Amino acid sequence: MDAVQRRHHILTLARRQGDVDVRKLAVDLGVAPETIRRDLSLLAQQGLVRRTHGGAYPTETARFETTLETRATRMVVEKRRIATAAVEHLGDAESVFVDEGYTPQLIAEALPTHRPLTVVTASLHTAAALAAYPSITVLLLGGRVRGRTLATVDHWATRMLAGFVIDLAYVGANGISRKHGLTTPDPAVAAVKAQVMAVSRRVVFTGVHTKFGGNSFCRFADVADLDTIVTDTALPASEAHRYSLLGPVVLRV
């Protein structure tokens, strides 16, 4: 196995498993850990993986996106804290958009069920979870259902959104950076998110610290378009301050 084949194998494995470990790869491939680290550094330079202490995990691109099952196993404690803190910013909102993805599912679970609330969502999971509560009216966006996230997209969804004025939107992204803003791999998903941003009075971005500095294929918003960012404490305070200078309030929980 030459270097190109080895890096292709590492990337394929990372995308299948969700992450890779330097020492295990070195043993399995019969090379030095330093060789694996160089491979991972090159893959990181190409934007295909992000390094962690002792390994790496795949970044999401136009050709690759993690599944909900994978997202539900990574940084769950941090995501629950973020979801709880995000719901504290609900205020007196009567209509709420809940995005697709795992952290938004946790936000949906944390929403109050004792008061009237209209929830607009593209997520089949979120719609099913909230529909049982008498006080919550669920509006599920129509459209093509994406198998990886079980969420609706395309012109049916964006046309439906265009008819709303939403008090508060909880929006996620596959990457957020000060230079490129909020990005996601799929153009159809980006179109839905962009329409949500256009019709919402307030927008709260939720995402773990590993989202920051990352970029995906399709840009749908600028950091300045956000009212609030909620992330975990592993995002350095200095970096959080840099994002706050662009406009949003940045909360590390």
Q: 155: closest CA among 164, 142, 165, 138?
A: 142
Task: Inform me whether the pLDDT recorded for 142 exceeds 70.
Answer: yes
My answer on whether 27 and 122 are in the same domain is: no
User: Is residue 237 included in any domain, yes or no?
Assistant: yes
My answer on whether 30 and 96 are in the same domain is: no
Name the percent of the chain lying above pLDDT 90.
81
pLDDT of residue 68: 66
Contact 186, 113 (CB under 8 A): no
My answer on whether 95 and 54 are in the same domain is: no
- Which pLDDT band, with edges at 50, 70 and 90, does 214 fall under? confident
Q: How far is it, in rounded angstroms, from Cα 195 to Cα 28?
A: 47
What mean pLDDT do residues 126-143 have?
Answer: 97
Contact 55, 22 (CB under 8 A): yes
Please report, as a single letter, which amino acid is at residue 82.
I
**Domain CATH for 46:** 1.10.10.10
My answer on whether 76 and 192 are in the same domain is: yes
pLDDT in tens, 99-120: 999 999 999 999 999 999 999 9
Residue 252 neighbours by CB distance under 10 Å? 18
Which residues does 144 contact at the CB level (< 8 Å), separation at least 6?
Answer: 152, 153, 154, 156, 188
**Domain CATH for 124:** 3.40.50.1360
Averaged pLDDT score across all residues of the chain: 94
My answer on whether 42 and 130 are in the same domain is: no
pLDDT in tens, 2-32: 999 999 999 999 888 888 999 999 999 999 9
pLDDT of residue 62: 61
My answer on whether 247 and 211 are in the same domain is: yes
Q: Using the 8-state DSSP alphabet, how is residue 2 labeled?
A: -
pLDDT of residue 184: 94
Q: How far is it, in rounded angstroms, from Cα 107 to Cα 210?
A: 19
Q: 64: closest CA among 185, 233, 219?
A: 185
What mean pLDDT do residues 89-106 have?
Answer: 97
Task: Inform me whether the pLDDT recorded for 74 exceeds 80.
Answer: no
pTM of the model: 0.84
My answer on whether 162 and 242 are in the same domain is: yes
Task: Inform me whether the pLDDT recorded for 72 exceeds 80.
Answer: no
My answer on whether 151 and 243 are in the same domain is: yes
Give how many domains the chain has, as a whole number.
2
User: Is residue 74 included in any domain, yes or no?
Assistant: yes
What mean pLDDT do residues 181-208 have?
Answer: 97
My answer on whether 55 and 91 are in the same domain is: no
pLDDT of residue 32: 95
pLDDT of residue 59: 80
User: Is residue 75 included in any domain, yes or no?
Assistant: yes
Name the percent of the chain lying above pLDDT 70.
97
Which residues does 147 contact at the CB level (< 8 Å), separation at least 6?
Answer: none
User: Is residue 195 included in any domain, yes or no?
Assistant: yes
My answer on whether 26 and 104 are in the same domain is: no
Q: Which of 59, 84, 100 is a domain's end point?
A: 59
- Which pLDDT band, with edges at 50, 70 and 90, does 73 fall under? low
My answer on whether 54 and 91 are in the same domain is: no
Q: Which domain holds residue 173?
A: 69-252
User: Is residue 64 included in any domain, yes or no?
Assistant: no
